[in-house]
Amino acid sequence: MNHLTFKRHRRLRNSSALRSMVRETHLHVEDFIYPIFVVEGTGVKNEVPSMPEVYHLSLDLLNEEMDEVQSLGIQSVIVFGVPNEKDDVGTSAYASEGIVQRAVAQIKEHFPNLVVIADTCLCQYTDHGHCGVIENGTILNDPSLKLLADTAVSQAKAGADIIAPSNMMDGFVAAIRHGLDEAGYAHIPIMSYAVKFASAFYGPFRDAAHSSPQFGDRKTYQMDPANRMEAMREAKSDVEEGADFLIVKPALSYLDIIRDVKNEVQAPIVAYNVSGEYSMVKAAAANGWLNEKEIVFEKLTSMKRAGVDLIITYFAKDVARWLREKE
């Protein structure tokens, strides 16, 4: 055997301490953005059936949730609204007393150090469940832009630190940037859902947000999962229109796209570890089929390794606790 020549890679894996010293990718609690779903009413804390440990929360219970989030060291949350009233143009999305606007104002009043991101979309607020204005069964692009800009401005007025438009209409970043600037919010950044694929992984979220489309699907505005060049076009145009962060969604099946965007675009990249990715792990863990903590660390690390700077994840509180156990 003495004549064999080969590399001794195992030398750097001999102990836990040594492995930690040479570890290339790390997770920090500051990496995570925690999604919350706010609803009308009082005393509401209802678990989303397809998303264990994720809840619809009424505003009177919101401070308790934010106390826990802040105590765990999580620095940012993204707010999704589930309104009682819907109509064909999503009026409650841009109402000054809309559910997201009231939630944002409340969080900023009581937790001023938390970064509050407002999801900016119409599908939760329209009775047809699409992210824009409908005419004769067609989703109209340009008439939807003003409503999205109005929504963003109302959220900025409520105190949102970041606007996160998720609709995928053409020109949505430009319209929102113009609307914010005109209204005196030039300092508010936009976290664009720049690369959002039409994915079956969104199923549990639609249960949570009550946003399933009432006809057709969203493939005329969300991207074909087979397309890589299209993702680059979307990312680059959003940066040109004024996006400050770029989201790639979903995360796990699109790590190659995350790396491509990271290589091509000079902006912070955010992965959305979406509802389906969350629920699959929770369901398997509940059945004893896998080790939840190890799986979650492995998959979130894969997103960081692919190049993301931040991760929107329903696991944020779990991971924050597990990271503390390691300290």
**pLDDT for the residue numbered 211:** 67
Of 86, 196, 304, 317, the catalytic one is 196
- Per DSSP, the three-state class of 119 is strand
Q: What is the mean pLDDT of each run of 10 residues along the chain (327 residues)?
A: 86 95 97 97 94 96 98 97 89 93 98 97 85 83 93 98 92 97 98 95 78 71 93 96 97 97 96 96 96 97 98 98 88
Q: β-strand 51-58 against 45-48: which pairing, if any?
A: antiparallel
Q: Is 102 annotated as a binding residue?
A: no
What architecture is domain 25-325?
Alpha-Beta Barrel (3.20)
Residue 206 annotated as part of some ligand binding site: yes
Annotated ligand binding at 218? The verdict is yes
Q: Is the pTM of this model over 0.85?
A: yes
Catalytic residue among 249, 262, 282, 304: 249
Please indicate whether residue 157 is annotated as part of the active site. Answer: no
Q: Domain map of the chain by residue range? A: 25-325
Each as own residue / partner, the long-range contacts of residues 297-302 (CB below 8 Å, 24 or more positions apart, any chain) are 297/27, 297/322, 299/252, 299/273, 300/27, 300/31, 300/273, 301/25, 301/27, 302/252, 302/255
Helix H or strand E encompassing 133: strand 133-135
- Structure confidence at residue 238 (pLDDT): 97
193 is in an annotated binding site: no
Q: What is the pLDDT of residue 203?
A: 80
Question: Does 275 count as an annotated binding residue?
Answer: yes
Query: Collapsing DSSP states into helix, strand and coil, what is residue 290?
Result: coil
* Residue 219: active-site member: no
**What distance lies between CA 200 and its chain's CA centroid?**
16
